[in-house]
Amino acid sequence: MSSNSKNELYLILDIDDLQTKAVLIDEVAGSYRVRGTSQAQTTVDPPNLDVTAGVEKATRDLGGGVGKELWGTDGPSKASRFLCSSSTGGSLYMMVAGVIGMISGESAQRAALGAGALLIDVFSKDYPRPEYEMVEIMRSLKPDMFLLAGGTDGGAVLQVLDMARLIDTADVRPRFGSEYKLPVIYAGNIEARKQVSDVLSSERYATKAVDNVRPVIERENLGPAKEAIYDSFMQHVIIHSPGYNKLADWVDEPIVPTQAAIGQILYAYAIERKVNLLAVDIGGATTDVYSIYHGVFNRSLNADIGLTHGISNVMKIAGVQNIMRWIPKEMDEREVRNIIGNMMIMQLTSLTSSETLVQRAAAREAIGLAVEHHKKIASRLKGVGLKRTIADIFNQALEPSYLDMMKTQVAVGRGKVFTQSRTSDAALLLLDAFQPEGVTEMMIDRLSAMPHLGMLLKENSKAALEVLSKECLLRLGTCVAPRGRTSRGKEAMKVRLTKADGAMIENEVSFGELKVLALHGGERAKLEVMPKRGLDVGIGMGKTLETDVVGGEIGLILDARGRPLSVPAEKDTLAKWADTLTHGQQSPA
């Protein structure tokens, strides 16, 4: 359906296991804005067993709120474009396989994760288990989809066919039942396509061949595999959930996984601004990390790591003492363990002050774990020869990650732990969890509308990016943080801030301090940072940095607490950090 046949009005929904959220975006005087939002309970489970019941309620409520007829007699009205993303049913469960785990297997992982999948296992010829165990594992797991890669174009064929035969031997069945064919996407050596299709025959598998994810050893080509995943998600996976067949007929563009839509809008934003961006999306059971560095997109997923269903796993992996170190008051370990257990079992909808402190402390550890895991995904291509100098031997890892906090210009937080907190608490959580270095803009997704804008991107990129910048992303402020450490109380840096009206602010920051300078949202200024010897703000130890900065709800945040950050044992210091940002918080200009 052509967008020219309708007004510039977009009704966009995102459906997760609990809620169906509707957003209406309209054009007024050449500018796009959010006209309204609404939420309804998702209705794929009994007694409704029809996702469209929740879709209808959310849409009718939204129409009533904005005074528009958004729902007709048999579905969405024709007055607007209708788009939808979804993560119901626990997201998109995928298995991937390659010939070499660190080459084709890793590229296949990046393609699947970038398409919004939840990986349940990765197989390869160098898998550290015998083939019969791989067959048993494949047989026991029931994915929504299988992505098979391997061999550069014109390269390995026999090894690729061996992996295809393992899949066939395992007789992998899809999650929605044996009466359905398992979608298998082949994105390997193009010369093996026919043989792979013969092994994974159409009698048992819905096999689709696309361009190789690793056509040559020096380059990835993930786009075709991602698009095939979206198509299979729509045709073979989500269509089996209650009511999705009707929903599929209503939408103007295919439904894609929520996580893929989020990744698409973050990537477009980073590319438009030409910045390196790191974002985290922390939910109840999963924590996603997205990064765009030098135009390269990566997503990683920590399943079972979150703040309700997954909070006990955070405690198990990070340790209760590491969670407790972030709590700015004395609490008994038994009390903390009980709170975490209750959060996991009871799925609390409202929290006491103590529960809130424990949840934020756990969020810091969960994000830290997720970022460390992300470094393994956001890495340079394995197997590619790198030319190195003698100096590189001493300062470069063999396979360095793209992720570098000193080179991160924008950091974004997404999830209820950010939006349901005071702005100052959200800012401190993001600072503590990410530990930005150099100069970094700090933001949160205040409308929780990134999936909606990701869906809008293909229809109207101008509208999607305009609404993201003006209404969705809340700018907390810009953080200036030196890398390195020195003696507590010793001068760490001097700063000079020159505003557009010529007003100048000068300040000194001691090591261990957190300070805020007034710089309102959208206000721009010239910044000069003079770090002391042994500290680096982006251009070398002790070297002065001159740059432009932009303010936010908190202002300009000067973080001289050291990198890596050492959490003090004194609880009053933690409380002082929180007070500093609270007092620095400004009313929007």
Contact call for residues 132 and 121 (beta carbons, < 8 A):
no
Predicted local distance difference test score (pLDDT) of residue 27: 92
Predicted local distance difference test score (pLDDT) of residue 109: 93
Which regions of the chain carry the CATH code 3.30.420.40?
Answer: 3-89
The letter for the amino acid at 248 is A
- CA angle 158/161/164 to nearest 5° reads 160
Homologous superfamily (CATH) of 92-240 is Cobalamin-binding domain (3.40.50.280)
CA distance 300 to 369: 11
Predicted local distance difference test score (pLDDT) of residue 29: 86
3-89 under CATH 2.40.50.100, yes or no = no
Run means of pLDDT, 10 residues per run, the chain, 589 residues = 58 94 94 96 89 96 95 92 88 89 89 92 88 92 93 91 94 80 94 95 92 92 93 85 92 94 97 98 94 94 92 96 96 96 88 96 97 89 57 46 92 96 96 97 97 97 97 96 93 95 94 94 94 94 96 96 93 94 65
* pTM to 2 decimal places: 0.91
Predicted local distance difference test score (pLDDT) of residue 384: 61
Residue with tokens 């095939």: 228
CA distance 177 to 551: 53
Which regions of the chain carry the CATH code 3.40.50.280?
Answer: 92-240
Residue with tokens 């929605």: 176
Per DSSP, the residues of 451-500 read HHHHHHHHH-HHHHHHHIIIIIEEEEEEEEE-BB---TTSEEEEEEEEET
User: Number of C-alpha atoms within 13 angstroms, CB side, residue 266?
Assistant: 34
Predicted local distance difference test score (pLDDT) of residue 586: 60
* Neighbouring residues of 151: CB distance < 8 A, sequence distance ≥ 6: 99, 104, 157, 159, 160, 188, 189, 192, 212
Please count the residues of the chain.
589
Q: Which residues of 109-118 are buried (b: 16+ CB within 10 A; e: fewer)?
A: bbbbbbbbbb
